Structure 1
């Protein structure tokens, strides 16, 4: 087998049917290709997913973890990857066709200033899933960030910025990587022709997780990248946004714990350049209470909260 150009890495945890669907679709596009390798990482599943992946071990690399480490479990797959580029998927996401894989490779081959390619995320009915991480218009362009269920990145660059942050577990890991990629002088490119279906399976996405991890991890990001006194405003805004979600989910204790950990953790501050502050304007607006309230009353559809 030739050295792979692209390593496809996906992570799963107790979602057997989703993993089965995703892997069968990926294999459909890669079965006859020797320039692509597939790596499946299991986060200590107990529902038969691990055994199912073992049945594929003669065709793909399977990594079995002894405990659920969250999104950082993907790092084990990244460390084993040999491709020039890494294509990251969830256990419920897959590329629309094989052309998507070729477009990712070609984009990174021909644009030496692009470090990461953000894919268009859509439903199984081909409806785009709008996220504040991505541009709102489907034309190739610079992107602030990316969505974790469908992106490709230069392996050497990804390794240099430290893969996904180990402490985050879930949510906002994309933003930390985006900040690091930008700080390293690379661009993130939105390629709507690279289409990824995300089925958004609800299993495992419980209410407390969506209160605790986005709140805590965003406070960490604010403390790391925002300058005083703006950092104080953004932290208070995020606490208010978290309170709203905690009341919706009935998870107030999780919010208290998230804020406590967010404020007490030892964070080494990095001062972004003025250009980076402009580049990440959408992130700051997304975590501004004034901005959220403005759009909530003006046009609820513009207050995009997907993949928070």
Structure 2
């Protein structure tokens, strides 16, 4: 337990864009937590008056206004303002449960090899557990040296980081914008020798906003998966991810808009190429093999990569 009046050891970075009502509700819930936290709100250049409303209602929240909509990289601006050892993230339609952030500090204090904690996400008023979290709970990556199942990916809006590790790997790549942006960070965290784990007792609530473009998200996910594969994965996987992206763009009827950018940016991705080592390849293969086994048993696709709360 932290003594009353002692400085916060964990910050929360909240990312928002044009969802003023949702982010005000989220900030109110975070401000009411018993946990001692420093709150940073990053407004991704909203056009609906979000920044002014945050400043008026929550003067104690550190407000950062991005110069443009940076997508996931807006979180980097928030982390630049963080002065605590640990940093939690959530989006504007997501909030942490009471006690979870204090418990995250205790877990990270006791596990120096662990750099990222993924919380259990409960969705909507009924509190159903997010399917990705169910898969994380079943992760085949188990070790007596870790307090919980290890992961190869995490959810950007439901995680806690060691602040220095987030900075060490460079945060989110601006060019990816949004859609599977966690994958590159995950691979770099693991390549640096750290672990990511799923912690069931950490709870975060997600009440999905209706303000989203699902078709655009599918296209960005596919495009970014291809770019990340060229940056970090072996050649066969890079080629496969590119073919998958092309197929998605054809399915979404957006090839004239998306394919030239996808292909033209492969050269950029190759300029950043650092293929993952044997340890990370082995971890990924164990998870992929486990996914394939479960899919064969259920006759249903069971994707388990990195996922973002939408």
**TM bucket by the smaller chain?**
0.7 to 0.9
Could you say if the C-alpha distance between residues 49 and 198 of structure 1 is closer, same or farther in structure 2, counting changes exceeding 3 Å?
A: same
Q: Which stretches in structure 1 are left out of the alignment for 5+ residues?
A: none
CA 1:258–1:197 in structure 2 vs 1: closer, same or farther (change >3 Å)? farther
- Structure-1 residue corresponding to 2:121: 121
Structure 1 ranges of 4+ moved more than 6 A: 282-286
Q: How many pairs align?
A: 294
Which of residues 148, 152, 157 in structure 2 aligns to 1:149? 157
Q: Could you tell me whether the CA contact under 8 Å between 1:134 and 1:145 is conserved in 2?
A: no
Question: Which of 229, 235, 242 lines up with 1:235 in the alignment?
Answer: 242
Write the deviation string for residues 50-95 of structure 1: whole angstroms up to 9, x where unpaired: 2211114521101112321111111111000111100000011111
CA distance in 2, matches of 1:277, 1:29: 40
What's the CA shift string for 1:133-173, capped at 9, x where partnerless?
95143993111111011100001111111111122110122
Work out which of the residue numbers 16, 19, 44 in structure 2 matches 1:15.
19
How big is the shift at 1:38? 0.2
Superposition pairs for residues 99-138 of structure 1, below 5 Å? Answer: 99-124=99-124, 125-131=126-132, 135-137=136-138
Query: Is the alpha carbon distance of 1:13 and 1:296 closer, same or farther for their aligned partners in structure 2, counting shifts above 3 Å?
Result: farther
Distance of aligned partners of 1:26 and 1:233 in 2 relative to their CA distance in 1, 3 Å threshold: same
Deviation at 1:229, TM superposition (A): 3.7
Query: Hey, what does 2:53 align to over in structure 1?
Result: 52
CA gap 1:208/1:283 in 2 versus in 1, 3 angstroms: farther
Partner residue in 2 for 1:253? 256
Considering only aligned residues, what root-mean-square deviation do their CA atoms show, in Å?
2.9
Q: Give per-residue Cα distances to partners, 1:11-65, cap 9 Å, x unaligned.
A: 10001121122111111105xx5x4100001111121322211114521101112
Deviation at 1:225, TM superposition (A): 2.0
Consecutive unaligned residues of structure 2, counting only runs of 5 or more, are 140-146
Question: Structure 2 matches for 1:1-308, cutoff 5 A?
Answer: 2-30=6-34, 35-95=36-96, 97-124=97-124, 125-131=126-132, 135-137=136-138, 140-211=148-219, 213-240=220-247, 242-243=248-249, 246-247=250-251, 249-267=252-270, 268-281=272-285, 295=295, 299-300=299-300, 302-303=302-303, 307=307
TM-score (norm 1): 0.85
Q: How far apart, CA to CA, are the structure 2 residues paired with 1:305 and 1:123? A: 19
